[in-house]
Structure 1
Amino acid sequence: MIITLKDGSKKEYAQPMSVYDIAADISEGLARMATAAQVNGAVVDLRTVVDADCELNILTPSSPEGLAALRHTTSHVLAEAVKRLYPQAKLAIGPSIETGFYYDFDHEPFSREDLDKIEKEMKKIIKEGAKLEKFTLPREEAIKFMEEKGEPYKVELIRDLPEDAEISFYRQGDFVDLCAGPHMMSTKNIKAFKLISSSGAYWRGNEKNKMLARIYGTAYAKKEELAAHLEQLEEAKKRDHNKLGREMGLFTTVDVIGQGLPLLMPKGVIIVKELQRWIEDLEDNEWGYVRTKTPLMAKSDLYKISGHWDHYKDGMFVLGDEEKDKEVYALRPMTCPFQYYVYKAEQHSYRDLPLRYGETSTLFRNEDSGEMHGLTRVRQFTISEGHLVVRPDQMVEEFKGCLALAKYCLQTLGVEEDVTYHLSKWDPDNKEKYIGDPEVWNETEEHIRRVLTELDIKFTEDVGEAAFYGPKVDINAKNVYGKEDTMITIQWDALLAEQFDMYYIDENGEKVRPCIIHRTSIGCYERTLAWLIEKYAGLFPTWLCPEQVRVLPISEKYTDYAEKVNAELKKNGIRSSVDNRSEKIGYKIRETRLAKVPYMLVVGAKEEEENVVSVRSRYLGDEGQKSLDDFITAITKEIRTKEIRKIEVQEEKK
């Protein structure tokens, strides 16, 4: 057989060989570093026997797939350590993830002290250097095997597999785990790992199931890489919007109000209000949108027409019982069907289209309690929602326009480089999840694919991520911990106009179905606020800062002048305040910096005499004395243009 390697070179063997043996034949060093492989593009275990011509790529931790195998093996070491220390713990699942790995256990919560103890045991296991051996069992034998070990969660996983499946296990010393692999050859090759945290997690992500104890960890090939990651995690903790947003007084949550129902504090409201006013003016004045205002709830009849009742009911807050009540209502999880009836209230000609409806919509979605997190995953949120009713011949250009508006918003916020684009497609193997014929889905997906290609936007294609009525472009961003969230969505809908009997009159006087684009320009305001907190570590661009200027009198003698300066700032629409406490000026400056106010104006005898202010900023530090008029001219321009200034002062970066 002929093996074609990644660099194009070829190796020829007369008999079948395991991937590991081929790696060792190429280089002993490669075999030591190898964690998995790709055979004809598919990731396989090092123990896999190759018996035919193929393309082979030996994977090491320098590749994402190779690093995943290292981390997966480390998760097994974690599981063995937990079973050694806590024999009563039951094993659930332990995959590698983008930032490391985790393992779920049926056990009481683990403390930081517990994690340190487990780490110590893991180091012992690694030092023992047990080989990982793979073996398989028929399904019924596998069930019996795990029942005898007292592992009910593993038994449940096996029972979900096909009747004729051969179930694979990995043994390392006395420890055995159900697993498909791939894994490293031995535990001794794990060089650098760390257990990060512990939290609760529902079995299989379902809040109706038991809460398990999850341990998160990470692993790298080198200690230097682990150290860099841990340093990055520390920085992430400082930027975590859930922590920083509360410290800055932007939002809070209260148990008696409910999970996923954050309270925006006055400072947080200022930021959201600025964003909302900007988006509404932008859409209406520059992009041709018209505003609607629609109810927060509707009868179930509306959602039955749209299909949400059949496809999305579990994600809705339903008010009433269909078996008992004459009318059942639900809080709206989206605005589209409401805006369709705004359209249907009048007859429209082909000349009226496109019609672009925009609404700042408050929506409600019954997210699982285990998914709630700060401002990024909530049950009530407000979104820059819009629906464009267009002729089929206008669809491509209008879709491009929605992408252009989204990109403009991202550029203005300074986050364009932080996003990825995804074509979210239907899953033809699960047709029951969707409405419409395959031909419509394939056609609309191809339209979006061409648009993204024409606009030279790099994108990935995600099967099964479409809404039930159409494919979409999802614009995603990662939080400080690497978890990806969808920030903006633009969706192609060729189906719901039929459901709602929407039409326009064409040039021949005939009724024609329009197409619809569902889109957001900035997405959910709460999630965007969380994104910006983490992006800027609370040091927002000046136009978004809850407090833009703080006036600092050197002593009480200059309070009157400070108030006069403050009044002039406010007259020009600048959010400002005076710190008239009887504290030293150095203390006031430090307090202002900690409050993340971008500008401070220090005033004393000289400033009052010459009608000037001494400017200190987070951008340049001490900017010297300026006339108040010049300062106001500069800052109002910065606010009006939404400029993002670079922070150049080292002390402000700390």
Structure 2
Amino acid sequence: MLILQRMATSSSFISTPLLKASSSFPTHFLSPLKHCVSAPSTEFRALALYRNRNGVSTSSAAVATETQVSTQDDKLKETQKEKSDKLEKVVLPTNESSESLLRIRHTCAHVMAMAVQKLFPDAKVTIGPWIENGFYYDFDMEPLTDKELKRIKKEMDRIIGKNLPLIREEISRDEAQRRITALNEPYKLEILDSIKEDPITIYHIGNEWWDLCAGPHVEYTGKINRKAVELESIAGAYWRGDEKKPMLQRIYGTAWESEDQLKAYLHFKEEAKRRDHRRLGQVLDLFSIQNDAGGGLVFWHPKGAIVRHVIEDLWKKIHIERGYDLLYTPHVAKADLWRISGHLDFYKENMYDQMNIEDELYQLRPMNCPYHILIYKRRPHSYHDFPIRVAELGTVYRYELSGSLHGLFRVRGFTQDDAHIFCLEDQIKDEIRGVLDLTEELLLQFGFSKYEVNLSTRPEKSVGDDDIWVKATSALRDALDDKGWSYQIDDGGGAFYGPKIDLKIEDALGRKWQCSTIQAS
């Protein structure tokens, strides 16, 4: 028998007519009395009264025609739309599609580190990679301000303008250690210890600065377009991602091949900010995260609860129609259950500490799987019973570092659409295909029609016999082929207990988000 698991994790605008004050009196005397609409001219009139020195009441009309307002608004909207359309037509390259862009970003990280150390000689350097939309570098130094960020960018521009060569040098490990020690760079010594290959490669920027690095880089700093580089933000980051180690200052930057690409990227960021669910959650009064309760714990407000209720009702209806039985299970269980399931061995860093209750250890659940298996095991089953499909909107709790929390996307407590299918070996392909169809149906309900599909195979740390892994992986592959979806192999990306199909959905801005997972074990 095999077990299948599936998991998933309007604005109104008020337009006010323009009022043009008469030049015969100051605007602070204007007191609107009424709006009069004249059919032939469609004028909006605002009448105002004031007293002059002699106590004589005088009236003055402030008039703006609807046609004028409409024309001005239309021109403004048309200009904005043309600008927006132009930016949206710019095709942004990626690190994968453009090696020159990758080189630019990597070199920008080095140039930024050089600029920081010129301005702040006591700053210690750590690592500075290229990332999806730019680069970052981590420094051990005093916290930076936005004003200092501008100084750093100005110094970067100066370095770029000098058109300094990027020179690769190979040295022995002992020589690298000697040079790093002379510079008093303790983090670089730690990085050197983690490098297994010899000789050690370093990159110089002219003869003014160097760093441990394997490349690649541009040939000269002048190859970077200064107007296509921008420093974006400062954040705290623990060294090596370990909260017990020093907190570093991380500077994020973005870099592109041209100024037009940078403008298009910044436009994309503004659109993303406008659609940011954290902002919309506040504006629409849907949800909040209360500091008094703790980070990563979501409070659904009345309006948000209605939205959630509608979604959950739809979810229940579709699952019942598809032959699933609904479950409700506890939020906590004996720690022994998580030891038997393997979670304590493979997932402990994401679990909360255990609680001692009447001399027994209990633990908040990070997943629902063991509960569903307990329900399955409550009685013997005939082969006539299969397939058995169960589903739950189960609330789980996972420990996340405070620095990684992000709105509803990265939380410490969330409700997960979680289903398990217990089936015979000859049923598995059809059941997986059914799950793929169900997943597609649910995603289409919310307008998601573009996916990236990955088949994730056995990781280095795993449980189970080789035979089960081979059969489960083959079944997932066969179902994908039968569905006709194109997919990529994510070698070693499976869960510790089984291979899986991962779906990343694409949003309105073309960003991809991990959403649905189908596992076999």
Q: Please say whether Structure 1 and Structure 2 have the same fold, judged by a TM-score greater than 0.5.
A: yes
How far the C-alpha of 1:62 sits from its partner, in A, is 9.1
How far the C-alpha of 1:206 sits from its partner, in A, is 2.3
Counting aligned pairs with the same residue, the percent is: 41
**Cα-to-partner distance string for 1:103-157 (whole Å, 9 max, x where unaligned):** 1111233222222111111110000011000112222332232222122212111
| Correspondent of 1:452 among 480, 495, 508 | 480
SS at the partner of 2:360?
Answer: coil
| Correspondent of 1:274 among 310, 333, 337 | 310
* Alpha-carbon contact 2:288-2:301 (below 8 Å) kept: yes
Moved more, 152-161 or 119-128: 152-161
With over 3 angstroms needed to count, the CA separation of the structure-2 counterparts of 1:105 and 1:477, relative to structure 1, is: farther
How far the C-alpha of 1:485 sits from its partner, in A, is 3.8
**Cα-to-partner distance string for 1:264-308 (whole Å, 9 max, x where unaligned):** 222221211111111011101x11000111111111111121111
How far the C-alpha of 1:396 sits from its partner, in A, is 0.7
Q: Check if 1:339 corresponds to 2:367.
A: no
Distance in 2, matches of 1:140 and 1:367, equals 39
Distance in 1, matches of 2:219 and 2:113, equals 17
Distance in 2, matches of 1:194 and 1:184, equals 18
* Alpha-carbon contact 1:420-1:475 (below 8 Å) kept: yes
Matched with 1:175 is: 209
Matched with 2:236 is: 200
Which amino acid in structure 2 is aligned with residue 117 of structure 1?
A: R
Distance in 2, matches of 1:391 and 1:413, equals 33
Matched with 1:290 is: 325
With over 3 angstroms needed to count, the CA separation of the structure-2 counterparts of 1:132 and 1:221, relative to structure 1, is: same
Residues 204-215 of structure 1: pairs in structure 2 closer than 5 A:
204-215=240-251
**Cα-to-partner distance string for 1:195-252 (whole Å, 9 max, x where unaligned):** 1111112222222222211111111111111111111111111112122222221221
Name the TM-score, length of structure 2 as normaliser. Answer: 0.78
Q: Check if 1:378 corresponds to 2:429.
A: no
| Count of matched residue positions in the alignment of Structure 1 and Structure 2 | 426
CA RMSD of aligned residues (A): 2.1
Matched with 1:229 is: 265
Distance in 1, matches of 2:96 and 2:398, equals 40
Distance in 1, matches of 2:305 and 2:94, equals 49
Matched with 1:327 is: 360
Distance in 1, matches of 2:412 and 2:428, equals 32
Distance in 1, matches of 2:297 and 2:117, equals 38
SS at the partner of 1:227?
Answer: helix
Matched with 1:425 is: 457
* Alpha-carbon contact 1:61-1:70 (below 8 Å) kept: no
Distance in 1, matches of 2:187 and 2:514, equals 32
Residues 81-160 of structure 1: pairs in structure 2 closer than 5 A:
81-160=115-194
Distance in 1, matches of 2:187 and 2:281, equals 38
Moved more, 475-484 or 289-298: 475-484
Residues 517-536 of structure 1: pairs in structure 2 closer than 5 A:
none
Residues 397-416 of structure 1: pairs in structure 2 closer than 5 A:
397-416=430-449
Report runs of 4+ in structure 1 exceeding 4 Å deviation: 59-62, 478-484
Matched with 1:217 is: 253
Distance in 1, matches of 2:509 and 2:128, equals 19
Which amino acid in structure 2 is aligned with residue 177 of structure 1?
A: D
Residues 367-516 of structure 1: pairs in structure 2 closer than 5 A:
367-417=400-450, 419-427=451-459, 430=460, 433-477=461-505, 484-493=512-521
**Cα-to-partner distance string for 1:577-609 (whole Å, 9 max, x where unaligned):** xxxxxxxxxxxxxxxxxxxxxxxxxxxxxxxxx
With over 3 angstroms needed to count, the CA separation of the structure-2 counterparts of 1:481 and 1:150, relative to structure 1, is: farther
Distance in 2, matches of 1:227 and 1:385, equals 42
Which amino acid in structure 1 is aligned with residue 263 of structure 2?
A: A
Runs of 5+ unmatched residues, structure 1: 1-58, 494-654
How far the C-alpha of 1:480 sits from its partner, in A, is 8.4
Residues 597-608 of structure 1: pairs in structure 2 closer than 5 A:
none
| Correspondent of 2:395 among 362, 379, 394 | 362
Distance in 1, matches of 2:455 and 2:242, equals 27
How far the C-alpha of 1:378 sits from its partner, in A, is 0.5
Distance in 1, matches of 2:464 and 2:170, equals 42
* Alpha-carbon contact 1:372-1:378 (below 8 Å) kept: yes
* Alpha-carbon contact 1:147-1:155 (below 8 Å) kept: yes
SS at the partner of 1:386?
Answer: strand
Which amino acid in structure 2 is aligned with residue 456 of structure 1?
A: G
Residues 297-312 of structure 1: pairs in structure 2 closer than 5 A:
297-312=332-347
**Cα-to-partner distance string for 1:630-654 (whole Å, 9 max, x where unaligned):** xxxxxxxxxxxxxxxxxxxxxxxxx
How far the C-alpha of 1:481 sits from its partner, in A, is 8.9
Which structure exhibits the higher relative contact order, with contacts defined as CA atoms closer than 8 Å and separated by 6 or more residues? 2
Name the TM-score, length of structure 1 as normaliser. Answer: 0.62
With over 3 angstroms needed to count, the CA separation of the structure-2 counterparts of 1:443 and 1:185, relative to structure 1, is: farther
Moved more, 239-248 or 464-473: 239-248
Distance in 1, matches of 2:407 and 2:342, equals 30
How far the C-alpha of 1:466 sits from its partner, in A, is 1.2
Which amino acid in structure 2 is aligned with residue 205 of structure 1?
A: G
